[in-house]
Amino acid sequence: MKNTNYSVKKRHFGWVLLLAVLLSGSASAHVNHYIGAYAQAGEWSMLPSQSAYSASLGGAGGVGFLYELQAGKKYGTTRFLFDAGVGAIGGLTAYSQSSNMTAVLKDQVDLQRVPFDYYYELKDRKDRYNDIAVQVPVLFGMQYKRFYFLAGVKVYAHMWTQAKYSTKLNTFGRYEQYVDDMRNMPDYQFFNGITKRGSVNTSLNLDMDASFEIGGRIGTLIYSTGYDVPKRTIEYRLAAFVDYGLLDLHTKGTKQALHVTRGYDVNPASPNYVYQSKSMVNNLKMNDIMSTEKFAGKVQNLMVGIKFTILFQLPEEGRCVICRDAYTRSASRGGGRKGMQYEE
């Protein structure tokens, strides 16, 4: 029989040993702390799993603040990096629908009191999404000389999302006594090639993206503080990054993709009398495609772009190596020393 207690103790010993190695490495490493800001710009898309929809790339950009820890040998060329921050990002992307959409009003009566069915036919539908989100990155990586990479996760909390839709609309009548549909008859509210537009506020789920960033230091500004004093630095970085969604962005919706608010009205006293300009077109309402019952597949975030970062090293102190007091009192008198020099 397998000794379960021995296996558990062995596993615990392994974790303790690993933790001890990490702690000893951290204790012997020289650590620098930075705060900074970043700006990023690129292309954004929401990738659908359903083949009936195609996604296009749109512009995105954002800014944020970050904290970075750098750890490594004192004068070594390789350093461990840890980044955490918060920022805001906004973007625009679009969906196109390859298949046509239809809606029908059954059992309508036209101006001559003849029964028919009124059809809406939509082609070339495109939904454009504007989004503003809060971004929280947590990244780990390495730096070798001036080059570095970071990998980790970014959490996106979508604060505001608006969908703007546009489509080509045809309306026509279908009569039992006629073989062909009745089209292009404006007096009957039968139109061809009308562009219908609208907008609606919607929402996206909390998202977590896998993120990878690679780039290099393009400049360093070093404060001149005198001999043997720790030199505070400002670093400038430029990198390329890619974020790929791990979660489903959209919530399965139950809204109708198309719905008609009123029927075919032949009452002259009604404000929706069919002789009113395009009243039947205005009666057609639409919802953004991702929040409807027709959209059941998964949607994943994709963002690629470039990122500029500026880092300010936080002050650090070392032991006093040379104490000069040329402007106050002599160091030999033992008073306060204004001109102390520090070892890095």
Is the pTM here over 0.85, yes or no? no
What is the tens place of the pLDDT at every residue in 95-141? 888 778 888 888 888 878 888 998 999 988 888 999 999 999 999 99
d(CA 250, CA 231): 49
User: Phi and psi at residue 84, in whole multiples of 5°?
Assistant: -145, 145
Other beta carbons within 10 angstroms of residue 231's beta carbon come to 12
Considering the domain architecture, whether residues 282 and 328 belong to the same structural domain is answered as no
Asked, for residue 115, whether it belongs to a domain, the answer is no
Beta bridge partners of 215: 148, 239
C-alpha count within 13 angstroms, C-beta hemisphere, residue 13? 6
Beta bridge partners of 25: none
Domain that holds residue 210: 29-98+124-163+198-313
Three-class DSSP category at 95? strand
d(CA 278, CA 273): 10
Asked, for residue 89, whether it belongs to a domain, the answer is yes
Asked, for residue 291, whether it belongs to a domain, the answer is yes
Considering the domain architecture, whether residues 40 and 158 belong to the same structural domain is answered as yes
Considering the domain architecture, whether residues 83 and 221 belong to the same structural domain is answered as yes
First to last CA, the chain: 58
Three-class DSSP category at 247? coil
Mean pLDDT of 153-157: 96
> How high is the pLDDT of residue 88?
96
Beta bridge partners of 48: 299
Considering the domain architecture, whether residues 50 and 90 belong to the same structural domain is answered as yes
Q: Which residue has the tokens 């039968």?
A: 190
Beta bridge partners of 234: 221, 312
**Are 101 and 155 within 8 A, CB to CB?**
no
Considering the domain architecture, whether residues 215 and 334 belong to the same structural domain is answered as no
Considering the domain architecture, whether residues 223 and 245 belong to the same structural domain is answered as yes
Asked, for residue 61, whether it belongs to a domain, the answer is yes
Structural domains in the chain (count): 2
Considering the domain architecture, whether residues 38 and 81 belong to the same structural domain is answered as yes
> How high is the pLDDT of residue 78?
87
Considering the domain architecture, whether residues 259 and 235 belong to the same structural domain is answered as yes
Asked, for residue 278, whether it belongs to a domain, the answer is yes
What is the tens place of the pLDDT at every residue in 20-48? 444 445 455 788 899 999 999 999 998 88
How many contiguous H segments (helices) and E segments (strands) does the chain have? Answer: 2, 15
Three-class DSSP category at 222? strand
Considering the domain architecture, whether residues 245 and 324 belong to the same structural domain is answered as no
